[in-house]
Each structure stands twice: as structure tokens, then as C-alpha cells.
Structure 1
Amino acid sequence: MSDDEFFDFCQLNSDLRIERTANREILIMSPTGSRSGKRNARLNGQLYTWFITAKTGEIFDSNTGFTLPDGSMLSPDASWVSAAKWNALTTEQQDKFAPVCPEFVVELKSASDSIKTLQAKMLDWLRNGAQLAWLLVPETETAFIYRLGQPEPEVVQGFDNELTGENILPGFRLRLAELR
């Protein structure tokens, strides 16, 4: 499918969570369970609270698809795109799966997700231009912090910790305890 045909396919099946790999494979994912939805809402709530004062770009939730340079279309659980990147897009591009890779992405593992698949997805984000990417695993209270140019993620154990947005999202602090 072309990008436009894929977008139309997704709109016709809006009750499904759909992504597309760089190899043009279509992935259909089940909705998350209620506890995962609660966690995702708390994650996005903290990001929104930071956004209100920062206003350095745009934030997006898990319903947002991005067309990446490798041709894939992925939907992170939370993300941020700088104002410069977002404002460079046309309104039509913004209305579809924007052809841009967020500088910051978060994937929140749900019970039905495979950790290996999510770890590979984090590397896909980095290969496509993400600068900071977090994989959060509530079952083990583990956060994997992926940074552009670093071969291995930093591992933060324990949800009593906070993660910072570093130089990508200055001033953002994610309280992991809220994701329990």
C-alpha cells in the first residue's frame, strides 16, 4: 500500500491499533488492558503538565502514527516533536501520519507486549532519528533509557526513581511511581 492507501486503511479500521514495519508488514495489535491504559494516561498526564510551561514543541499520545524515514509507521505511547520539525510540516502532513520522527518517544510495555519486540522497536526509533527513547516495563519496574549514539541502553531499576528529559526535554521529570 502507498502511504495514502495505508492511511485510508487505518481510518477504515479506526477501532484497531495498526502499525507498519519498514518491510511494509502490517501489524495489528489488540487494545491494552485497563491497567496499561491507566498507566499510559498517567504517563501522558505528566508529559502534558511539563508541556504547559515548556511549549517548545508538540506532544502526542498513543493514537498518533508517524511515518518514519525507513517507511515504517509507528505509534509510540507518548512522544514529543520539536516546534521546528512540527512547524516545517504542511497542514496535510500534520493531518495524516506526519513524515517525521519524534525526538523523544516512550513505549510502555503492556501485558501482551513482548520485551524483545519492544527493545527492537526502540532501536528502530533511534535509527530513524529519535534522540531519547524510554522503554518502561511496569512488571519488573525497569526503565531502559536509549540515547542516540549510545550502543546500549541505560537500565534504571525501581519505580521509586524519576527519569529526566535531559537536554531533549529540559525540566521534564517522569515520576515512575505513578506508573505502578
Structure 2
Amino acid sequence: MSLTIPRGVRLIVDSNDFAGLCASNRDLRLEQAADGGLIVMAPASPDSGGRENELSFPLTAWNKGKGLGKVFSPSSGFTFPNAAVRSPDASWIRRERWEALDPRERKRFSHIAPDFVAEIRSPSDGLPDLQAKMAEYIDQGVRLGWLIDPTTQTVEIHRPGRPPERLEKPKALSGEDVLPDFTLELAEILYD
């Protein structure tokens, strides 16, 4: 059985129903807007999934060496203070913040905003939608966000209290004070 949702129609679900939908549709990437609106995303293409991996692997390696926090995959959902449930392409939370969560909370769509998030624009993503998502992340407590766009070979860096910074064809990104001593080389992510 499948469900076709016409353009312009929004489905609103409560948090319990959303968790059930996710459990019943593990092959889909689902998110929930702050107003309960269901957001359905196609699984990543091999190209997009490869780029996500090129981001996650060095982030994980850096974290293993530093031991400062926990790295999460694109299938990890977080419940933000505004009740939205989001799944960034890559995310990281400081260890003391993660360990302060009740262990039962860690097994759900944890009520916590990551310290760092990254989104990689795929060909099917609208740039204004991703920019709005990045603004929401920052508004909800994320301290550093990267919007990586292989189509235009640009990166937007999002930080609290500042307008996004746009970089044209950067070679690398700094984790700044959020991810100390982390540098992401962009050769396999931003460039083919």
C-alpha cells in the first residue's frame, strides 16, 4: 500500500503518531515541522550518500581522537525546543550535554539540539528550504551549522547572532570553537 500526497497538501501528526510512522516506514527519511507537519524525504542517492559519508567519517575520526562528544548519522532524529523533529546530515553533541540526558531519552527522538549540524544540498533540495532549516537549527540552540552546496560549490556558515557567512569554493572548513582543531577538507564533498 502506498500513499500519494498531492502538492500543497500537508499532513499534521502528533509526536506519538510521528514516532509510529517512523517505526513503520524505516526506508523513508521523515521529519516533523514545529507545527506537526510531516516532511517526507527520499532516501539519499549514492552520490549524496557518499558525500554525507565523506563528512561523517572525518568528523567521527576527529571525535574519536578528542573524545569531546558524540557524532550522529543522518538517520538520527532530534526533538528541538519548538517541537520539530529534525535529522541533519551530520551532527555532534558535546559529551557532557549528551551524558546529562536520561538513558531512556537517548533511545527516542532526544529532546536536545546538537551543538553542530551540517546539511549537504542534494539536487532535489530547494535552497530556500535548506536555508530556512539552517535558520531554525540556530534559533533552536545549534552553535555552528554548515550548509554545503555542491551544485554552486558554496558553503554557508550559520552561527547564533550573526548573518550566514557565504564562502565561494572553499577548500576546507574550520570547526571553530565548537569543534576545536577540526578541519574538514571539502575535496570529495563540494567538488567532484
For residues 164 and 49 of structure 1, the distance between their equivalents in structure 2, rounded to whole angstroms, comes to 15
The amino acid that maps onto 2:29 is R
User: Residue deviations 1:43-78, cap 9 Å, x none?
Assistant: 101111111111111110100000000000000000
Shift of 1:178: 1.9
Instruction: Say whether the 8 Å CA contact 2:80–2:112 is kept in structure 1.
Output: yes
The amino acid that maps onto 2:86 is L
TM-score normalised according to structure 1 size: 0.96
Instruction: Say whether the 8 Å CA contact 2:14–2:36 is kept in structure 1.
Output: no
Q: Percentage identity across aligned positions?
A: 37
More displaced 10-residue stretch of structure 1: 109-118 or 85-94: 85-94
Match of 2:88 in 1: 76
SS of 2:122's equivalent? coil
Match of 1:21 in 2: 33
Match of 1:175 in 2: 185
For residues 188 and 109 of structure 2, the distance between their equivalents in structure 1, rounded to whole angstroms, comes to 30
Instruction: Say whether the 8 Å CA contact 1:32–1:112 is kept in structure 2.
Output: no
Instruction: Say whether the 8 Å CA contact 2:113–2:141 is kept in structure 1.
Output: yes
Choose the corresponding residue for 2:176, options 143, 159, 166.
166
SS of 2:124's equivalent? coil
Give the structure, 1 or 2, with the largest relative contact order (CA under 8 Å, sep 6 or more): 1
Unaligned runs of 5+ in 1: none
Number of matched residues? 178
After superposition, residues 107-118 of structure 1 pair within 5 angstroms as 107-118=119-130
For residues 16 and 32 of structure 2, the distance between their equivalents in structure 1, rounded to whole angstroms, comes to 13
Choose the corresponding residue for 2:107, options 77, 95, 104.
95
Match of 1:33 in 2: 45
Instruction: Say whether the 8 Å CA contact 2:15–2:36 is kept in structure 1.
Output: no
Choose the corresponding residue for 1:62, options 74, 78, 85.
74
For residues 118 and 58 of structure 2, the distance between their equivalents in structure 1, rounded to whole angstroms, comes to 12
Instruction: Say whether the 8 Å CA contact 2:79–2:85 is kept in structure 1.
Output: yes
Match of 1:4 in 2: 16
Larger Rg: 2
SS of 2:166's equivalent? strand
Unaligned runs of 5+ in 2: 1-12
Instruction: Say whether the 8 Å CA contact 1:109–1:138 is kept in structure 2.
Output: yes
Task: Please identify runs of 4+ aligned residues in structure 1 that moved more than 3 A.
Answer: none
SS of 2:44's equivalent? coil
More displaced 10-residue stretch of structure 1: 117-126 or 30-39: 30-39
Match of 1:45 in 2: 57
Q: CA RMSD in A?
A: 1.0
TM-score normalised according to structure 2 size: 0.90
